[in-house]
């Protein structure tokens, strides 16, 4: 009898022990880095990006993780600065040992971080960097957005077809890969589509007085003024241009996407139009769910940065699921084979790890932003 009791107790003990170890196995985790400019020249970009990514990662964890694997995300602020960005990539990879990185936002910062991710064999998905050179860094570098050759084409097409412009000028930040690259695409596209570039002006990063450039632009009186810059610069330029009597239609790019644009520009930006990736007015069901969830969690409507970060997070989670592990190489291979519906369209990578996606044109009117039209590739 005593022997039997010992046997039963031993059996129970062994069962409990194996259950406990089993449970330990189930709480495996995968570490994901998030990098965004949460402070600095384009802080609204960083906040929206962080929000979009954690909205998705939190939801995955709340529903039990990725096939039982929990996500541990670590957020780094690159302050919109390439050197800070490089530090953030190194820290996440060397110290935190992340399997994959969601980020970063600006092309110029990605161009500093991507070579680090590539050389250390950790894949990254930039939600928003549109400069083509970013993914050309190597086969571990992906993005969730269209690229600037398309964005510049769309801007030129809108200027010609819808505005009816015959002449255009551009003013851009010479120290920013994104603004310079996009301005150059526009300079090539606008004449190709039948228009004439009458001015092509640049300024140094950090400039706040654009008088010298605007005087030259005013002298040639263009129908359209293309401003492919982040919201701070574009807002200031719009204001100073109207103050000196420039009447051109303002045309912008995704870098305009910030609630701060109208705060800086005031009425000057009224009627301005810009190319973007996403509108909360989208009627795609996945996008509507995202808008609803984002508003519920953060108390405001999402912009394109929130949407693309959410989308990058979706792509990353799907790749980890397909890889079935936290191994960076396996995740990279799964990323390359991505084929999924997201909030702004179908993501399938071409040979340079760029998705092919449509754009929207938005208009600033009385301090608000409205959807005008869509342009597909
Ligand atoms: N496309 C910009 C870049 O490459 C970043 C950006 C995307 C900003 C979308 C705003 C909205 O630097």
Domain boundary among 258, 276, 294: 276
* DSSP helix/strand/coil, 163: helix
Q: 251: burial class by Cβ within 10 Å (0-12, 13-18, 19+)?
A: buried
Whole-number Å distance between alpha carbons of 246 and 219: 9
pTM passes above 0.75: yes
10-residue mean pLDDT series, the chain (377 residues)? 56 55 64 98 96 98 97 98 98 98 98 98 98 98 98 98 98 98 98 98 98 98 98 98 98 98 98 97 92 97 97 98 98 97 90 96 96 95
User: Cβ–Cβ contacts within 10 Å for residue 296, how many?
Assistant: 9
Nearest CA-CA partner of 52 in 144, 138, 176: 144
Cβ(254) – ligand 1 distance below 6 Å: yes
Query: Residue 254 Cα, ligand 1 centroid: separation in angstroms?
Result: 6
Sequential DSSP letters for 244-284: TT--PEEEE-GGG-STHHHHHHGGGGTT-EEEES--TT---
The reply to whether 193 and 298 lie within a common domain is: no
The reply to whether 89 and 132 lie within a common domain is: yes
Whole-number Å distance between alpha carbons of 224 and 205: 23
Query: Residue 121 Cα, ligand 1 centroid: separation in angstroms?
Result: 25
Cβ(278) – ligand 1 distance below 6 Å: no
Residue with CA closest to ligand 1 atom 11: 254
Q: Are 142 and 110 in contact (CB under 8 A)?
A: no
Query: Residue 60 Cα, ligand 1 centroid: separation in angstroms?
Result: 26
pLDDT score at 23 = 47
Count up the domains in the chain and report the number.
2
Cβ(80) – ligand 1 distance below 6 Å: no
The reply to whether 137 and 224 lie within a common domain is: no
Which residue segment(s) compose the domain that 195 sits in? 149-276
Q: What angle do CA 96, 118, 330 make, to 5 degrees?
A: 75
Cβ(148) – ligand 1 distance below 6 Å: no
Cβ(232) – ligand 1 distance below 6 Å: no
Q: Is residue 11 part of a domain?
A: no
Residue listed under structure tokens 């970013």: 134
pLDDT score at 15 = 56
Cβ(178) – ligand 1 distance below 6 Å: yes
The reply to whether 140 and 155 lie within a common domain is: no
């Amino acid at each position: 009898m005593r022997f039997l009791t010992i046997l039963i107790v031993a059996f129970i003990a062994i069962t409990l022990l194996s259950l406990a170890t089993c449970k330990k196995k189930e709480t495996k985790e995968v570490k994901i880095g998030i990098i965004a400019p949460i402070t600095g020249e384009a802080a609204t970009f960083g906040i929206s990006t962080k929000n979009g990514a954690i909205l998705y990662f939190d939801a995955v964890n709340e529903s039990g993780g990725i096939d039982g694997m929990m996500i541990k995300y670590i957020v780094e602020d690159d302050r919109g600065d390439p050197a800070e960005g490089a530090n953030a990539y190194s820290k996440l990879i060397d110290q935190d040992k992340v399997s994959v990185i969601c980020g970063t936002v600006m092309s110029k910062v990605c161009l500093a971080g991507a070579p680090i991710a590539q050389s250390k064999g950790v894949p990254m998905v930039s939600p928003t960097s549109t400069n083509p050179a970013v993914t050309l860094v190597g086969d571990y570098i992906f993005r969730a957005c269209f690229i600037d050759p398309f964005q510049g084409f769309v801007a030129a097409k809108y200027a010609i077809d819808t505005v009816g412009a015959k002449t255009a000028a551009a003013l851009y930040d010479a120290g920013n890969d994104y603004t310079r690259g996009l301005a150059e695409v526009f300079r090539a596209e606008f004449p190709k589509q039948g228009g004439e570039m009458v001015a092509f002006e640049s300024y140094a990063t950090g400039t706040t007085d654009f008088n010298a450039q605007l005087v030259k632009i005013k002298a040639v009186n263009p129908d359209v003024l293309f401003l492919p810059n982040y919201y701070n610069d574009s807002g200031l330029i719009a204001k100073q241009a109207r103050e000196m009597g420039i009447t051109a239609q303002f045309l912008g790019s995704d870098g305009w996407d910030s609630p701060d644009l109208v705060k800086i520009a005031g009425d000057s930006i009224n009627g301005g139009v810009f190319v973007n990736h996403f509108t909360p007015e989208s009627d795609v069901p996945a996008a509507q769910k995202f808008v609803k969830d984002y508003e519920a969690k953060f108390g405001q409507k999402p912009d394109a940065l929130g949407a693309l970060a959410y989308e990058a997070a979706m792509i990353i989670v799907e790749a980890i699921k397909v890889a079935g592990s936290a191994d960076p190489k396996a995740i990279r291979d799964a990323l390359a084979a991505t084929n999924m519906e997201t909030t702004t369209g179908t993501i399938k990578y071409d040979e340079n790890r760029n998705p092919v996606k449509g754009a929207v044109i938005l208009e600033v009117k009385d301090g608000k932003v409205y959807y005008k039209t869509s342009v597909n590739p």
